Chains A and B, each alone.
Chain A
Amino acid sequence: MNTRFKSALNHVKANEDLINKTEEYLRDTLAKEQISKMTEFNKWRMIGMKKFAIAACVALLLLGGGFKAYATPLSYVSLDINPSVELGVNALGLVVTAEGYNEDGKAVLSGVKATGINVKKAVHTIVDSAAHKGFIENDGSTVVSLTAETDNDRTAAKLKTEAEAGADEALTENGKSAEVNSDNVALARRDEARKLGITPGKLNLIQKLQAELQASDPTATVDVETYSDKTVKAIMLEIKEARQAITDKGAAIGNKDNGAASNKDNSAINNKDDLTANNTNKGTANSKANTVRNNAGGNNSINDSNHTDIKQ
């Protein structure tokens, strides 16, 4: 059986034709496979490269977004002596833009770097530069007006404190004295001021002046343009004069209910050289001013938390 079966099966052989056909088929298929393997390898490499490219794009976007977030000012601080300068402050409390609103402002900013540092340092730098360039008089009569422009009360307070500290330091270092006046306004006011080409700080002062003037004479109007080039000192003086006029008037009318406060107020205003915080005043003058503001209409965003100090 063994040998018979073997010899029988030995006759069964793969014919040459089949072998050749198979050889050809195998060669073709394997070659194709190798190519497809290669392309697959390349495909994966391509996918890898694509992934890398996408990752790079995302990273760039994130970086760009981060930079955008860094470079976008959320609040502003405007500094007016007469050089009017506005600083843009980003979310991190760093100054990212510094813009001169008038020729003097540009002059103050030239040659100094006020960006990339915190508000205190930036204000310090600018006041320092202003002092060097002769914008601050030696007699202490110059008024430095700092206005925080933001919708957030907490930020406003912080910006004001920092800016004041910076201005004070710079003044002390230069042996100068000036009246540092800080205030804050809503961001909406900024757009209004921009249209007029003045800083919101100055606009604020002009509007205050208008309010004061209207308190004594409801028909009085203030032409913003005439004041836009005036120094803060000059505007402040006019405000004080107007206020005094009202106070005088108020004193003449007499105030039965709140005489003491009124007197205190009067004395404070009368004493120009030693004007102390009057943000707590409840006198006639202030209430009248408020009334007038309301009458004037649209001026409600004037912040009433302003206070005025005189730095010696």
Chain B
Amino acid sequence: MEVSQFENDDKIGVALQKYSDTVYRICFIYLRNSPDIDDVFQEVFLKLLQKNLPFESEDHEKAWLIRVTINQCKDVVKGFWWKNINLVENVELPLKDSAENELLQVVLSLPQKYKDVIYLYYYEEYTVPQMAKLLKRNENTIYSNLHRAKGLLKQKLEGKEHEYSF
């Protein structure tokens, strides 16, 4: 119960250093607009430190964080503000490369369930069973989502898919 101030500060620093980019990316994929990202970002880390869960490994901790971030983002997206008032304006992407920019814009324009799998599959390099476990979905659902996501990407990239190996 008693956690010293020093210990706490240490934990905050370590957690932020390790996971800030991961969490931020998920937030970015889901939310794009910055005020909500900041909120979710802070909430996720607060949860991590508040719960102080005994993780089996770093992968476990990371998976937990991804799960929590996705849930948190979904909550925001589900909210009244997001649905009715928030006008999704595309954030300026910090990319110089136009091809990368285009790819990212396409991914961001995908429906939520496809963004999940694309991110987890291509960026975090999770396997389908791992994704199924993390997203609490049937493996076959993940397979078909992934398949459809790829199809959508191809379609949206309009023939430029040859530039990428799907």
Using CB atoms and an 8 Å cutoff, list the residues of chain A in contact with chain B. 1-2, 4-9, 11-14, 18-19, 21-23, 25-27, 29-31, 33-34, 37, 41
User: Is the contact region of chain A dominated by helix, strand, or loop, or is it mixed?
Assistant: helix
Q: Which residues of B contact A30 (CB under 8 A)?
A: 8, 12, 46, 49-50
CA distance A33 to B8 in the complex (A): 12
Determine if B81 is an interface residue (Cβ-Cβ < 8 Å). Answer: no
- What are 26 sample pairs from A and B whose C-beta atoms fall under 8 A apart? A4-B100, A4-B103, A4-B163, A5-B123, A7-B97, A8-B97, A8-B104, A9-B104, A9-B119, A9-B123, A11-B93, A12-B93, A13-B21, A14-B24, A18-B24, A18-B37, A18-B41, A19-B16, A21-B38, A22-B20, A22-B42, A23-B12, A25-B46, A26-B45, A26-B46, A41-B1
CA distance A21 to B1 in the complex (A): 26
CA distance A1 to B121 in the complex (A): 11
Contact, CB under 8 Å: A2 / B104: no
Interface string of B97-109 (1 = CB under 8 A from A): 1011101100100
Contact, CB under 8 Å: B122 / A26: no
Contact, CB under 8 Å: B94 / A11: yes
**A1 interface neighbour in B9, B24, B104, B165, Cβ under 8 Å:** B165
Contact, CB under 8 Å: A34 / B99: no
Contact, CB under 8 Å: A26 / B49: yes
The smallest C-beta distance from B24 to any residue of chain A, in angstroms, reads: 4
Q: Which residues of A contact B156 (CB under 8 A)?
A: none
When C-beta atoms are compared, the residue in chain B nearest to A34 turns out to be B3
CA distance A240 to B57 in the complex (A): 110
The smallest C-beta distance from B95 to any residue of chain A, in angstroms, reads: 5
Q: Which residues of A contact B21 (CB under 8 A)?
A: 12-14
Q: Which residues of A contact B8 (CB under 8 A)?
A: 27, 30-31, 34
Contact, CB under 8 Å: B41 / A5: no
The smallest C-beta distance from A42 to any residue of chain B, in angstroms, reads: 13
Contact, CB under 8 Å: B20 / A19: yes
Determine if B25 is an interface residue (Cβ-Cβ < 8 Å). Answer: yes
Q: Which residues of B contact A8 (CB under 8 A)?
A: 95, 97, 100-101, 103-104
* CB-contacts of B1-35 with A (<8 A): 1, 3, 5, 8-9, 12-13, 16, 20-21, 23-25, 28
User: Is the contact region of chain B dominated by helix, strand, or loop, or is it mixed?
Assistant: helix
Contact, CB under 8 Å: B94 / A12: yes
CA distance A1 to B166 in the complex (A): 6
When C-beta atoms are compared, the residue in chain A nearest to B17 turns out to be A19
When C-beta atoms are compared, the residue in chain A nearest to B96 turns out to be A11
CA distance A6 to B122 in the complex (A): 7
Q: Which residues of B contact A2 (CB under 8 A)?
A: 122, 165
When C-beta atoms are compared, the residue in chain A nearest to B37 turns out to be A18
**Cross-chain pair count, CB within 8 angstroms:** 94
Contact, CB under 8 Å: B12 / A6: no
State the interface size on chain B (CB cutoff 8 A). 41
The smallest C-beta distance from B31 to any residue of chain A, in angstroms, reads: 12
**B20 interface neighbour in A4, A6, A14, Cβ under 8 Å:** A14
CA distance A31 to B46 in the complex (A): 12
The smallest C-beta distance from B5 to any residue of chain A, in angstroms, reads: 7
Determine if B164 is an interface residue (Cβ-Cβ < 8 Å). Answer: yes
When C-beta atoms are compared, the residue in chain A nearest to B23 turns out to be A14
When C-beta atoms are compared, the residue in chain B nearest to A15 turns out to be B24
Contact, CB under 8 Å: B25 / A12: yes
Contact, CB under 8 Å: B164 / A22: no
Q: Which residues of B contact A29 (CB under 8 A)?
A: 46
The smallest C-beta distance from B164 to any residue of chain A, in angstroms, reads: 4
- Given A22-B45, A31-B8, A11:B100 Cβ within 8 A: yes
Interface string of B42-59 (1 = CB under 8 A from A): 100110011000000000
CA distance A41 to B2 in the complex (A): 11
Instruction: Knowing that A7-B97, A37-B1 touch, tell me 8 more A-B residue pairs with CB under 8 angstroms.
Output: A6-B123, A9-B104, A9-B119, A12-B25, A25-B46, A26-B46, A34-B3, A34-B8
Q: Which residues of B contact A31 (CB under 8 A)?
A: 5, 8
Q: Which residues of B contact A7 (CB under 8 A)?
A: 97, 100
The smallest C-beta distance from B154 to any residue of chain A, in angstroms, reads: 10
The smallest C-beta distance from B123 to any residue of chain A, in angstroms, reads: 5
